Amino acid sequence: MNNHTLRESFEALGISDLVLTPGASFRYLSGLSLHASERLTLLFVNIDGEKSALLPALEAESAKSADFLHLETYRDEEGPLRALQALTQKMGFSSETILGYEAQMIRMFEYQALAGFAGKSFLAADDVLASIRLIKGEDELEKIRRAAQIVDGALVRSLPLFKSGMTELEVAAELEYQMRKLGSEGTPFATIACAGPRGALPHGGPSMSVIKRGDLVVLDYGAMIDGYAADTTRTVSFGVPSEEALSVYEVVKKAQAAAVQIVRPGITAQEVDRAAREVIRGAGLGVYFTHRTGHGLGLDVHEFPSVMEGNELILRPGMVFTVEPGVYLSGKFGVRIEDDVCVTETGVEVLTQFTRELCVID
């Protein structure tokens, strides 16, 4: 964490302290991987980058690895409020304290506890956190690269095991099993394996639907290394696909390649989106491309930058995001191809390398 950048961000927003609940930003700033639960768990970061925390007593051992200025713990039977009051007193909070918080993460019971002990003024600081995490360091990039190698390897291992007659759930389970065997610590989101008409659901989950010969199957899945995610999509065909499916697949493949090829420092995020969308619109399929072209990737599988129209953020080296155009024909099939890319000093590094050619499973 760059304390100079942190101070500038705090001053620009008008806050003196930041409060975080468990999640990616909590982990990024503390080094602790804790899960949101019914137990109040809070991380405070002041303008000098000093960290304090309120933790359940059962997490005290984990806290030994963190460098906290102040730490208060509490046991289940006593509850967190006494410890929270003691902590905020140590940090010098008053009714004049203005706390920045992560609006997309904080829950009502956490907000209410803070309002009772840590001042009455709160400001959303999501943009501050996004800017701090936006540029990935080399250690972060290496973890994402390793996760990307796992998602590639899992599909290589799984494809020979796929066959018509399997359910979507069986296909998803095989991918997840192979990722575990290759070293993934889990999945950053629920694996998608949607066949035939269900492939037209961009975020459809796997079901007990049986995959038939001729079905296109959208496989969207991810791996994690030390909390950092890779996220990839490939569309495969179980048996020979229709001419229409082949035609749409080629359009999406060209759109994805056009977007990847344009990535470099100095262009805007929306220009990447436009490169993909221009190809799909040119084929008369623009209305069937219903989402942004990509999203940032890191400790969260969806973080900044959003690769979409209207985002004039200028790309810089160290930014990592997905490029994943898709076409979804309701009642027929869907096609999506997704790679993870990193902006370099001179262009782009494509982190996921599995072929973009259509794989046909006998």
In 3D, which of 89, 136, 111 has the Cα closest to residue 300?
A: 136
Domain containing residue 165: 135-361
User: Lowest mean pLDDT: which of 123-132, 181-190, 203-212?
Assistant: 123-132
- Cα–Cα distance, 178 to 164 (Å, whole number): 19
Q: Is the peptide bond before 305 cis (omega within 30 degrees of 0)?
A: yes
Residues 96 and 8 in one domain: yes
Q: Which residues pair with 235 in a beta bridge?
A: 218
The residues, any chain, with a CB within 8 Å of residue 295's CB and separated by 6 or more, are 302, 303, 305, 306, 307, 321, 322
Q: Is the pLDDT of residue 14 over 70?
A: yes
Give the model confidence (pLDDT) of 305-347 as tens digits.
999 999 999 999 999 999 999 999 999 999 999 999 999 999 9
Domain CATH code at residue 306: 3.90.230.10
Q: Is the pLDDT of residue 355 over 90?
A: yes
Residues 45 and 85 in one domain: yes
- Cα–Cα distance, 352 to 147 (Å, whole number): 9
Give the model confidence (pLDDT) of 126-152 as tens digits.
988 998 899 999 999 999 999 999 999
Residues 279 and 190 in one domain: yes
Q: Is the pLDDT of residue 292 over 90?
A: yes
Residues 252 and 353 in one domain: yes
Check residues 266 and 16 and name the one with the higher pLDDT: 266
Give the model confidence (pLDDT) of 66-97 as tens digits.
889 999 999 999 999 999 999 999 999 887 88
Q: Which residues pair with 296 in a beta bridge?
A: 303, 321
3-class secondary-structure state, position 172 = helix
- Cα–Cα distance, 226 to 217 (Å, whole number): 29
Residues 161 and 306 in one domain: yes
Site of tokens 């906290």: 68
Q: What pLDDT band is residue 3 in, cutting at 50, 70 and 90?
A: low
Q: Which of 87, 115, 133 is the last residue of a domain?
A: 133
Residues 168 and 285 in one domain: yes
Residues 125 and 146 in one domain: no
Q: Which of 110, 133, 156 is the last residue of a domain?
A: 133
What does the pLDDT read at residue 299?
97
Q: Which of 103, 133, 163 is the last residue of a domain?
A: 133
Residues 154 and 255 in one domain: yes
Residues 160 and 118 in one domain: no
Q: Is the pLDDT of residue 240 over 60?
A: yes
Structural domains counted in the chain:
2
What does the pLDDT read at residue 353?
97
Give the model confidence (pLDDT) of 19-71 as tens digits.
999 999 999 999 999 999 999 999 999 989 999 999 999 999 989 988 899 99
Residues 149 and 13 in one domain: no
Q: Is the pLDDT of residue 362 over 90?
A: no
In 3D, which of 304, 283, 307 has the Cα closest to residue 293?
A: 307
Residues 142 and 84 in one domain: no
What does the pLDDT read at residue 7?
84
Q: Which residues pair with 326 in a beta bridge?
A: 336
Helices (DSSP H) in the chain: which residue ranges? 3-13, 24-30, 60-63, 81-90, 108-117, 126-134, 138-158, 168-181, 243-262, 269-282
Residues 207 and 356 in one domain: yes
Q: Is the pLDDT of residue 201 over 80?
A: yes
| pLDDT over 70 percentage in the chain | 98
- Cα–Cα distance, 316 to 320 (Å, whole number): 10
Domain CATH code at residue 52: 3.40.350.10
